[in-house]
Every structure is written in structure tokens, then in C-alpha cells.
Amino acid sequence: YRKMATLSVCQPQLGGFSFENCKRNAVLEAEVTKLGCNVPSARKTGTTICGVVFKDGIVLGADTRATEGMIVADKNCSKIHYISPNIYCCGAGTAADTEMTTQIISSNLELHSLSTSRLPRVATANRMLKQMLFRYQGHIGAALVLGGVDCNGPHLYSIYPHGSTDKLPYVTMGSGSLAAMAVFEDRYKQDMEEEDAKRLVRDAIAAGIFNDLGSGSNIDLCVITKGRVDYLRPHDMANKKGVRTGNYKYKQGTTGVLTKSVIKLDLEVVEETVQTMDTS
């Protein structure tokens, strides 16, 4: 502790990321792999997320499975994150990274809109996200589909973990992005109606769910138009757990009762205590 205390004398303490343990972690990882065990992996959202621009606004869609290696960690996680009342963002990649990144950008956008006293624009959120992701050189594994409606109309961006962005009428991200993109490339038309757009996004996410192991469970949709946001969770339960058809329980009375004897145990109450649960 003496060294750490003296270090804090010379340099002022700053917040933010601390890289103190990186060397120790590298040494530990080498030791662990030598023994043959595995280092625990981060929880990813091997995912299908997509978005499409239609006549009056944006439809965003996402599946709801979160994986941890080969195991499903969360059967119903929410991948469409709130950024501002008119902007929502789907996140693929490391689950914690997408969650924290979208929360930080949402806070920054709120402060910014309070200071300009205007509804925030999608381009602002896009610029904040890409500058932050580039600053961390891709170590923050967050691939995002950002969509919203502002004073200039509907906008849809896709943002990659290293900080590059694309502004397109339809985008898909995640491990199931190829399956979803195949559906989009076949059936996308400019200026669709809302119902057509919702059906298209639902089919694209369903293609990702059924053809990609990393995506599954339900389909969430978010429809953003000028002045209205419909957050449909779940829009479609594509994978319902089946109901058991057979019943292996025996009926009452299957086994005949031959004799019955009742022995009464005399117990007296010695002590009674009540422990309240800490429900705060």
C-alpha cells in the first residue's frame, strides 16, 4: 500500500478507466490457460437487429436472446434502448458495452437538449456515439442501429464498434445480420406504409432468429413517427416453449391402501422468534 499511497501524492487522482490490473490479468490468463481451464467470457448479444425507414418514420426491430459462449444467458433481454423521446437505438455486441454506451449518450443528449432547448437530432446522437467509439479504438464492442425522427425527418444510422457510421434507408447488424439483410434486399421498397414496414422488419428478425444460433426468443419492435413512439415488446413470440402433451403423474387411488395407522407426536412450543425480511 505504501507505493500506491506515495503515487497518489505525486499525481492527482483522475476518474475514468484504470489500467492497473492489465498486466496482472495477462499473467493470470497465461497461468489459467496453462492449467487448461477457461477464462470466463463476457456476455454477448449474438443478435439480429435491424431498422428500416418508411413513409412517416422509422421501424426498429431486435430479437431478445443474450448468449454467454454457448449458453443462453437471458431469454428475454431488451435490446432496443432509449436515447431520447424521439430517438431509439438497438445494440449488438457485448451486452454491458451497448447498455452503458447508450445510457451515457442518452444522458449527454439530454444535457445538450436542455442547453439548446430543442428536440435532439439523430445526427447529434450519431456524432457523439462515433466520437466515443473511435476514442476507444474498438475496445468497446458495441455495434448499434440508431434511428429516430427529428425536425429534418426520419434518419437511420448504423454504427460499428470502431467508430464508422453509415446513413442508409435499411440496415442490419449482429450475427444474424446476413439473414435479415437477405429479407430486406428482397422486399424493401421506398415509402412503405407502416403496416408493411412492421411486417418486413418482423420477417427480417424472424429470418435471423430461425437461421442463426446467436439469436432467438421473441421479436421486439419500435415504431417511431413524428410525435409518437410505439414500443412493442413483445411484438411476436416466435419461439414459444411447448406445452407437455403427456402427463406422468399417477391418479389418486392408483395404489390401494391396505392399512392406516396414525401416531400422534406431542410437541410443545419452546421458543417463537420472528425475523423480518429486509425488503428495502
| Strand stretches in 64-118, DSSP E | 66-68, 71-74, 80-84, 87-94
Task: Name the segment binding another protein (CB under 8 A); options: 2-10, 82-90, 157-165, 223-231.
Answer: 2-10
Is 42 a binding residue for another protein by CB under 8 A? The answer is no
Please, which of residues 10-39 interact with another protein by CB under 8 A?
A: 10, 12-19, 22-23, 26-27, 29-31, 33-34
Q: What is the distance, to the nearest Å, from the Cα of residue 156 to the centroid of all Cα atoms in its chain? A: 19
Euclidean distance between CA atoms 271 and 106, whole angstroms: 55
∠ CA 45-50-56, nearest 5°, is 145
Is 136 a binding residue for another protein by CB under 8 A? The answer is yes
Min CB(120)–another protein separation in Å: 13
Do 61 and 47 meet the contact criterion of CB atoms below 8 Å apart?
no
**Is 259 assigned a catalytic role?**
no
Given the residues 47, 98, 124, 172, select the one marked as catalytic. 47
Q: Which residue has the cell 434502448?
A: 81
Measured CA distances, 215 to 49, 74, 221, 275 (Å):
9, 11, 15, 44
Is 132 a binding residue for another protein by CB under 8 A? The answer is yes
Nearer to another protein, 76 or 107 (CB): 107
Catalytic center residues = 47
Note the residues at the interface with another protein (CB under 8 A): 1-10, 12-19, 22-23, 26-27, 29-31, 33-34, 100, 104, 107-108, 111-112, 115, 132, 135-137, 139
